[in-house]
Amino acid sequence: MNNNRKTLDQMMTLRTRRMLIAYAFLFIPVLFYLGVRIVPAIQALSMSFTHEGSSVFTLDHYKMLLQDEVFWISVKNTILYVVIVVPLQMLLGLLIALGIERVNRFKWFYRIVFFLPYMTSIVAISWVWRLIYEPNTGLLNKVLDWLNLPVQGWLTHPDTALISVSIVIIWQMMGFCMLIFTAGLQVIPRQLYEAAEIDGAGRWKRFWMVTFPLLNPTIVFLAIIGVIQTLQTFTQIANLTGGATGGGLGGPLHSTSSVVVYMYNQGFRDYNLHFAAASTVFLFILILIVTLIQFRVLNKSYKL
């Protein structure tokens, strides 16, 4: 009896020790998350409702935000980025994944090649593309000139600047989509394809009847992640348009400005931190609403 009691006490001590160790390891990341994410978010929310040097509650910043034409241009551009970037990067990622699956040798090599842009620094990629887009010496305009086609001001003209930035984002992100789609394709049972082939289904019909429905969880994941990331687009815009487009960050004529770029300009260029905080809250609400809608719509289509 005493031995059993002693063994039970030892087990409880060991369990307590393991629990304390687990909480100790969890404490540091939780503390970091609170200090870096939660506390600044609460502070930004508080700043958006007050003026500098005052603690009086006010909605002035939000009223000014809704009356600012540049803000609405940034919102429109952000929506355009989402509409252009997310479907195309997913489509190209799926096509690449399907193409690699049909290759018999060196699949690992092709996956690495297409995934490399995603692993590379966004700043480095943006500056390489900035050189490619350069009006006078850029590779793209040299090719157009060699083909006797009119050269373009890719980043210096409002009509082409947003598309040019979108191309860079798509090019970098399609490798990530390819990798996730590859994982999704590999868990589809081969027996389903064999059964469909026995029933006389061609390649295209097998894709629509087997592959596409079973990729729904992957599509839902990539759509949600892609939209959230695109709504927060900043680095590509900052490095492609900053100081070289005749209009500052988000130029020319605010044609590439996103909500995050607008927020940056207000807070760090104009030092209007309280106004920038209001735009931060708006972006948070926008991301929250869009994500909830995506969960509702995409999960419903998945259940169907």
* Cα–Cα distance list, 192 to 44, 101, 184, 195 (Å): 52, 16, 15, 5
Q: Same structural domain for residues 136 and 4?
A: no
User: Do 8 and 78 sit in the same domain of this protein?
Assistant: no
pLDDT at 172: 92
Same domain, 34 and 158: no
Domain housing 177 = 67-303
Q: Are residues 130 and 79 in the same domain?
A: yes
Compute the distance between CA of residue 199 and CA of residue 183 in angstroms, rounded to an integer: 26
Residue range 280-301: average pLDDT?
79
Query: Is 178:108 a contact under the CB 8 Å cutoff?
Result: no
In a domain, 57, yes or no: no
**Residue 178, domain CATH:** 1.10.3720.10
**Residue 62 domain-assigned?**
no
Same domain, yes or no: 111 and 26? no
Q: Dump pLDDT digits (tens) for 221-231.
A: 899 899 989 98
Mean pLDDT of all residues in 211-233? 88
Give the pTM. Answer: 0.83
Domain co-membership, 35 together with 142: no
pLDDT at 72 exceeding the cut of 60 = yes
Is residue 273 packed enough to be buried (19+ CB in 10 Å), middle (13-18) or exposed (0-12)? middle
Q: Are residues 85 and 122 in the same domain?
A: yes
Residue 185: closest CA among 164, 160, 214 = 214
Separation between Cα atoms, residue 102 and residue 99, nearest integer Å: 5
State the average pLDDT over residues 70-82: 92
Least confident of 38-42, 147-151, 195-199, 254-258: 195-199
**Does residue 74 lie in a domain region?**
yes
The answer to whether residues 25 and 111 belong to one domain is: no
Same domain, residue pair 105 and 249? yes
231 and 275 inside one domain: yes
Query: Is residue 20 located within the same domain as residue 73?
Result: no
Helix 107-119, helix 69-101: angle, nearest 10 = 170
- Minimal CA–CA distance to 157: which of 83, 237, 80, 246? 246
38 plus 178 within the same structural domain? no
Candidates 95, 166, 93; CA nearest to 129 is 166
Per-residue pLDDT, 128 = 92
Number of compact structural domains in the chain: 2
What is the average pLDDT value for the chain, to the nearest integer? Answer: 84
